[in-house]
Chains A and B, each alone.
Chain A
Amino acid sequence: MGTLLIPILLIPLIIAIGSLFRLCGRRWWWCNQVADHIESHWRWNASLGVLKESYGVASICVCIGFRSLAWDSAGGVINSVLVCFAPVFLIAPVVIGAVYMYQNYDTLSKKALKEKIGVAYEDLKNYQRIPFSDFISYPSFFFVRRLFLAMTVVFLKNHFYVQALLLIAQGLVATMILATHKPHLTRSSNYFEVMNEVAVLVTIYHLFLMTDYVQELKTKRALGYSMVGVMALQALICIIVSIG
């Protein structure tokens, strides 16, 4: 998360620079052009990109915050109040994003909107040809899944089997959505996403064999190698195909 904090801190700076150029635009015409460029290319795209990548980690942080609510000290109260407001920041962007895209559905393919918020739907299929419900389901599911994953992992900490079953259920739903809706732009992207989801599912299946169901340490060690092997294979295939 550390490196992602750099753009998070830079976004207000970018917005401030844009406003500064807009102010200078009253005197020098080219400043207006720079301000337009910053507003159209950076303000929303940068924020949305960072939100997308840090959503999983942010969800985990909020869930852990809920688990450690404390009202007995000043620091604890401040922390708890902040944590109580945090879900708004997690859920609001998803809802606002879905409503905004719904309202601007016909203009999503326009260059101006693509430059502004294109990062939210950049690799998705030609949204004019598929029903809107299909288009909206995947970007929303991306966020909702991460939120549920974080909740499953943090709140069901002591209930491994429920946790594992929910993880598998989420993986299966994700695979089904990818396989049936094929939301991505190219066929290869769709195959890649399905492959990634299957790799995640297979890795999660290994968890069942890491419990007391398997007693031998030797077997558990072999299963550990298999688990690492699946993850390494997935990464290797992605890298090889990306380069080739």
Chain B
Amino acid sequence: MVQIERFVKISKYTIVFTVASLLLLNYWLLLLMNNLQGMIEAQQVLVLIPLTDVRLPAFVHLVFSMLLEIASFDYFETGELFEKVVDTKHSEPLD
């Protein structure tokens, strides 16, 4: 009987601990995502700078190209996938 009570008690604490940890983790992840989203939103504005009529040093362009990958969510190589899905043919550029 005592063993069963102890088992129930341990189970109860385990469940409470798990739920509390998950809630904390959820809150932390939400906070993390909000802050990172803010960072990406700022970077979406920053990546427009190379489009201005100013000659930036080459290494700044390199950094901007890396930023562009983060800001435009280019985390995976999707070119081939879309060529297969949309079945487009390359044409001459308009401009």
Which positions in A face B, CB cutoff 8 Å? 1-6, 9, 53, 56-57, 60, 64, 67-68, 70, 75-76, 79, 123, 146, 149-150, 153-154, 157-160, 163-164, 167, 171, 189, 192-193, 196-197, 199-200, 203-204, 207, 210-211, 220-221, 224, 227-228, 231, 234-235, 238-239, 241-243
Residues B33-70 near A (CB distance < 8 A)? 34-46, 48-49, 51-57, 59-60, 63, 67
Cβ of B91 < 8 Å from any Cβ of A? yes
Q: Are B57 and A220 in contact (CB under 8 A)?
A: yes
List residues of chain A with CB within 8 A of the CB of B57. Answer: 220-221, 224
> How many B residues touch A, CB cutoff 8 Å?
41
B60 neighbours in A (Cβ, 8 Å): 224, 227-228
Which B residues form the contact surface with A (CB < 8 A)? 31-32, 34-46, 48-49, 51-57, 59-60, 63, 67, 72-79, 82, 85, 91, 94-95
Q: How far is the CA of A178 from the CA of B39 in the complex (A)?
A: 15
Most buried by A among B45, B74, B78: B45
Q: Are A153 and B78 in contact (CB under 8 A)?
A: no
Minimum CB–CB distance from A167 to chain B (whole Å) comes to: 8
Whether the pair B78, A5 counts as a contact (CB closer than 8 A) is yes
A241 to B67: give the CA distance in the assembly, Å: 20
Q: Is the CB of A157 within 8 A of B53?
A: yes
In the complex, the answer to whether B95 meets A68 with C-beta atoms within 8 Å is yes
26 A–B pairs (Cβ distance < 8 Å), ordered by A: A2-B72, A2-B76, A2-B82, A5-B78, A5-B82, A53-B73, A56-B48, A123-B37, A146-B44, A150-B48, A159-B53, A160-B54, A167-B52, A192-B38, A196-B38, A196-B42, A200-B45, A200-B46, A207-B54, A210-B55, A220-B57, A224-B56, A224-B60, A227-B60, A239-B39, A242-B35
